[in-house]
Chains A and B, each alone.
Chain A
Amino acid sequence: MNYKNLILIALRALTNNKMRAFLTMLGIIIGVASVISMLAIGAGSKQSIRDEIGQMGSNMIMVQPGNGSFGGVRQSASSMQTLKMTDYESLVRETNYLSKITPTVSSSGQAVKGANNSPTTIYGVNEQYIDIRGYSVGSGNMFTAQDIRKAAKVCIVGQTVVDNLFSAGEDPLGKTIRFGKIPLKIVGVLEAKGYNTMGMDQDDLILAPYTTVQKRILAITYLQGITAAALSEEYSNQAIEEITEILQRNHAIKIGQENDFNVRSQQEMMETMSSVMDMMTILLGCIAGISLLVGGIGIMNIMYVSVTERTREIGLRMSIGAMGRHILMQFLIEAVIISVTGGIIGVLVGIGASGLIKMIAGWPVSIQAYSIVLAFVVCTVTGIFFGWYPAKKASDLNPIDAIRYE
């Protein structure tokens, strides 16, 4: 039997019942379209959260002092003095997985310019910090390695600080502000980043050479933290291990002993957020999957009715020489044509619906190639699975009874 003929037979049978074929298809169309758009919404939300975290530096790794006790009294991390410049230096020397690294010290205080003042935080960092955190310099320049060596009294400020200290239209570049008692010359202004997902104003900060903050503001020699960037997101875990090893060796921490520092990555945070989004995507996908299943049952139902209704046709086909398997294949092909055509239309509707959601509701959507492939496979399988039983029933009919069926 050649399949070309069988497909021709099935197509002719379907075109005889266009309306019914379409209504059956509708179940599949809705099912597939909802699977695709739900997965697109899920993936889109996940992507947008990743992007936001990524803006903060998705490959960022933070080292903080921690878990120390002094004379049996457990100390808070900020008062620990376990991180030294030597730790920073050995990390710079030995790392394989870090692309950028900076010491960090910070202090909260009041920034003053003339009659204006504003509470803010000054971060003492090196020139790599803005790359790690995903900041960029809007106007002016970042301070230089030279400034760091000399503990120069320079700074680069966030937009919020500029807004609070300067009147509109005034150019802050080259002006001097005071942080506490220390005058700092503004050499650059950061590009505004806005609020992050946690609602923190990312532009309310002053960056200065860490040496300046250490010596002139805090008068300390230790570091409050080290911030680094892994080569890429994928290397975050290796980078954490590497940092842990180097610091354990530097601090002479024995196996089994508690570390006096913490290493955390932005990646971990992102994974937590991602797993929440994954859960939501799975949930949405399941609901959509159920509608696809209902569509499949719709096919089975219609094929069933169709077999009963077309009993005489089946009897006729058998009496003029169709074998059982020809009938089986015909009904199976009809079911698959319905489900696959429904699948194709469903994919298009799903893409359209996703676009519409993006346009009207403004939700982030990201259509997943795998969801289209998945929808197709599921459709074909649905067609075969739900078409099989009615088709089998048709092929098992006795031609004598079938041809005289009333």
Chain B
Amino acid sequence: MNEIIKVENLRRDFLVGEETVHALRDISFNITEGEFVTIMGTSGSGKSTLLNILGCLDVPTEGEYYLDGVPVRKMGKNDRAMLRNRKIGFVFQSYNLLPKTTALENVELPLLYNKTVNSAQRKAKSHKALESVGLADRINHRSNQMSGGQQQRVAIARALVNDPVIILADEATGNLDTRTSFEILTLFQEMHAQGRTILFVTHNQEIARYGSRNIVLRDGKVIEDRKNGSIASAKDTLASLPAEEE
């Protein structure tokens, strides 16, 4: 199996005033293709710092991080931007769609920063991505005309459009009600079933049941890393929820 993420003795220190804060202390793990990893931890556990590094937004103080075999620590800002553009799909808690912009235009965004994609390809890929999240009929809706769940679907389509090696989700269900959360989780599980590699950072312990592997952080260290033998189906959970009242 392809190693998508390889983290070796990762440390990240921040200088806050006079004090050095050790946000990550000697973290190592590998993620192989097709895994659905949930990363848990309370606030202050270092999960945001880890996500920033895995997302190539930040670099470790020590240790090395390989994304799809590429060492990232010594990379320049622009090279990391390129790497994010080609290999990573981000899904954020607050969707971060461009305001007053259509679903299609939002999804197109990563491809606009990729000069190897021409406008016809861009359109085609964006359409496909929107179809795959079930928004084929809302392509020209503006972000402010959509519900939270729909907006997050657009954000997921945007993460998928560049066909990334990994999808990094940061509390992707954090802003959604229970029902919609499970709809989105179902979508993640579908993507997982299609062979996508997903890393889902959350403080919601329940979500660990739906991933294939769970890593727990505390005080900058991995305190638990185990495979999930019996993955629960978000679809079933969704079906078992009481029907929405009108």
Contacts and interface: CB of A to CB of B under 8 A. Distances in A.
Interface of A: 1-2, 5, 8-9, 12, 16, 312-313, 315-326, 399-400, 403
Contact of B82 (A2, A313, A321): A321
A321 B105 contact: no
Given A319-B55, A319-B57, 12 more contacts: A8-B112, A12-B101, A16-B99, A16-B100, A16-B101, A320-B90, A321-B84, A321-B114, A325-B78, A326-B113, A400-B57, A403-B57
B28 interface: no
B90 A319 contact: yes
Contacts of A315: 96
Contacts of A316: 92, 96, 98
Contacts of B98: 12, 16, 313, 316
Contacts of A323: 77-78, 81-82, 113
A320 B57 contact: no
B26 to A, nearest CB: 22
Nearest to B98: A313
Contact of A403 (B92, B99, B100): B92
Contacts of A313: 96, 98-99
A8 B158 CA distance: 18
Interface of B: 52, 55, 57-58, 77-78, 81-82, 84-86, 90, 92, 96, 98-101, 105, 109-110, 112-115, 158, 162
Nearest to B51: A400
Contacts of A322: 81, 85, 113
B44 to A, nearest CB: 15
B76 to A, nearest CB: 10
Contacts of B78: 323-325
Contact of A321 (B58, B81, B101): B81
Given A16-B98, A312-B96, A400-B58, A320 B105 contact: no
A399 B57 contact: yes
Given A1-B115, A324-B78, A400-B58, A317 B109 contact: yes
Interface of A is mostly: helix
B57 A12 contact: no
Nearest to B83: A321
A317 B97 CA distance: 10
B101 A320 contact: no
Nearest to A6: B112
Residue among A12, A312, A319, A324 with most chain B CB within 10 A = A319
Contact of B84 (A8, A9, A16, A320): A320
Contacts, number: 67
B87 to A, nearest CB: 9
Nearest to B78: A323
A16 B143 CA distance: 12
Contact of B115 (A5, A16, A320, A399): A5
B110 A321 contact: yes
Contacts of B109: 317, 320
Nearest to A17: B100
Contacts of A400: 52, 57-58
7 contacts: A1-B113, A317-B113, A319-B84, A320-B90, A320-B113, A321-B110, A400-B58
A321 B96 contact: no
Residue among A312, A322, A323 with most chain B CB within 10 A = A323
Per CB-CB distance, the 8 closest pairs between chain A and chain B, nearest first, are A321-B85, A316-B96, A320-B110, A323-B81, A5-B112, A16-B100, A321-B113, A321-B84
Given A2-B115, A403-B96, A320 B86 contact: no
Nearest to B89: A320
Contacts of A317: 109, 113
A55 to B, nearest CB: 62
A12 B108 CA distance: 12
Nearest to B82: A321
Contacts of A8: 112
A400 B58 CA distance: 8
A9 to B, nearest CB: 6
A321 B52 contact: no
Contacts of A399: 57
Contacts of A1: 113, 115
A224 to B, nearest CB: 83
A96 B106 CA distance: 77
A12 B110 contact: no
Nearest to B84: A321
A324 B79 CA distance: 11
Residue among A315, A318, A321, A400 with most chain B CB within 10 A = A321
A315 B110 CA distance: 13
Nearest to B97: A316
A392 B217 CA distance: 37
